[in-house]
Chain A
Amino acid sequence: MEIFKIAVTGNVGAGKTTFIRTISETKVVDTERRATDETSLLKENTTVAFDFGRITLNPEQVLYMYGTPGQSRFDFMWEIVINQVEAYVLLVAAHRPEDFRGARRILTFINQRVQIPMIIGLTHTDCEGAWQKEDIILALGFSANKECPPVVQVNPENPGSVAQSLVVLLEELMSVSVV
């Protein structure tokens, strides 16, 4: 059996759990607990270990998806998850500029440990106050001087949109493997 593992990471409320739930074939194994920190202003529950979802392609091939917790106090989980996977999606809520630096921090954290193909998925682009893609990229620390990975808009609640973003991740994976 060949297993392809990817991670879905990002700040609290970016849409990681929703993303995995939307596309997983099985009921997602989640480890959500009631939020008691500032997360509770955003939503009721928060992931504390990881989310897990799966897509079985055939008896021999399967995709595993791991969602991480968002808060930096769980960075040990980021580390555990990221060392298991072949590629990852970083989700960023486009309407919460206060979270951009947190996303940049996750990115730096991961880059320090592994160099694997990744894409950035912008969520909540339908929400009021959403920033433009170009400006979010700058806030994440990419510019003319620093190569930016592929950036896609994704609505984690929409299966078609999630599937499309995963296709982009696969393309990125292919393009990197060829080098």
Chain B
Amino acid sequence: MAISGTLEAFSLPEVFQIIESGHKSGMLTFKSSSKDLSIDLNGTFELWFEKGNFISIINSLDYQFLINEIIKRGWIDARNLFKTTQLCPTNQALGTYIKQQQLLNESQIDSLFKMQTDMAIKLFNVDRGWFRFEDLEQININTKEQKTFPWSEMTGQKKKATELSLEAMRIFSNWSRFTNEMPAHNCGLQRLINHCNLHFNSLEEYLCNTADGSISLHKIAQKMEVSIERVQRTALSMILAGLLEEVPEVSLNVNMPANNTFNQPSNFTEAKNISVKTKKKSKVSNSLINNLANFLKSNF
């Protein structure tokens, strides 16, 4: 079964978080139903991911985006390009093949991929719409058609889903959509992951490094000399991306368990061990547990 829903219920950054942390490969179908005419995104979009990385985007009204773009830019003439697409092996990204054939250089491919990521980033501003993510493997099991990646729409480049989501949220403007979700001035932040290889801006970096629940957004804004709104928005972007969590102010004076593992450049196995060790040893007797288990098994 697929992940699907409306944007009102589940935002795009959250969808991207699931795709990334699940290392998913497949297709995210996206259809805007926004009444906001300033966002011109007609048609259905297909966003493609490989192992949690964004690799391509296709608009149903503009198939062959990549090929058309190359022709439009006058980089390769149509006939020549057509021949090249015919020669491109079936499971190789067109961009990679064209580069191998030395028809385009690295920076030209980069700029084509940038166009694709920019198009994906635009989708984040849509406030109403519908999405559905289908796992490539599952598409093939369910439909028996051998669907594969859209090789002819791929540059061969990729970007982590979360990375893309953070980039999108940095230039996001439609914040009124998230009014109810905005973390409060007096709340703190808690880090959810031990480490990540994302490119942060300085505020993101700061939020991540200080996220032990002991400093309020308000204080961060003062310290970093940026507006509280900016801190809230950046924090929310990172919360939606699954990097941080909002924790209430009350936790600031609570004795925290000594598992601030994130301060060390820890590895995950180490973190796991610590979390097991610090689990409170149960005071319940084995006799009670056995009696309860027997009771539950035999009476219901």
Direct contact, A vs B (beta carbon within 8 Å): yes
Where the two chains meet, the residues of A that have a C-beta atom closer than 8 Å to any C-beta of B are 2, 4, 23, 55, 57-58, 61, 63, 72, 75-76, 79, 86-87, 96-98, 100-101, 104-105, 108-109, 112-117, 129, 131-132, 134-135, 138-139, 141, 143-147, 159-160, 162-164, 166-167, 170, 173-174, 176-177, 179
> Closest CB-CB distance, B138 to chain A, in whole Å?
10
Chain A residues positioned under 8 Å from B1 (CB to CB): 131-132
Chain B residues positioned under 8 Å from A176 (CB to CB): 276, 279, 281-282
In which size bucket is the chain B interface? 35 or more
Contact assessment for A177 and B18 in the assembled complex, using a CB-CB cutoff below 8 Å: no
- Within 8 Å of chain A (Cβ to Cβ): is B5? yes
- Within 8 Å of chain A (Cβ to Cβ): is B144? no
Interface of chain B: mostly helix, strand, loop or mixed: mixed
**Given contact pairs A104-B245, A108-B192, A138-B18, A114 touches B280 in the complex (Cβ within 8 A):** yes
**Closest 6 A-B residue pairs measured CB to CB?**
A163-B300, A143-B21, A98-B9, A108-B245, A163-B296, A115-B279
> Closest CB-CB distance, A53 to chain B, in whole Å?
13
A/B pair count, beta carbons within 8 Å: 143
Q: Which of A79, A116, A138 contacts B280 (CB 8 A)?
A: A116
Chain A residues positioned under 8 Å from B259 (CB to CB): 115
Q: Which of A57, A75, A112 contacts B295 (CB 8 A)?
A: A57
A45 vs B4: C-alpha distance in the bound complex, in angstroms?
A: 29
- Within 8 Å of chain A (Cβ to Cβ): is B129? no
Chain B residues positioned under 8 Å from A57 (CB to CB): 288, 291-292, 295
A101 vs B254: C-alpha distance in the bound complex, in angstroms?
A: 23
Contact assessment for A145 and B275 in the assembled complex, using a CB-CB cutoff below 8 Å: no
A167 vs B190: C-alpha distance in the bound complex, in angstroms?
A: 32
Chain A residues positioned under 8 Å from B277 (CB to CB): 179
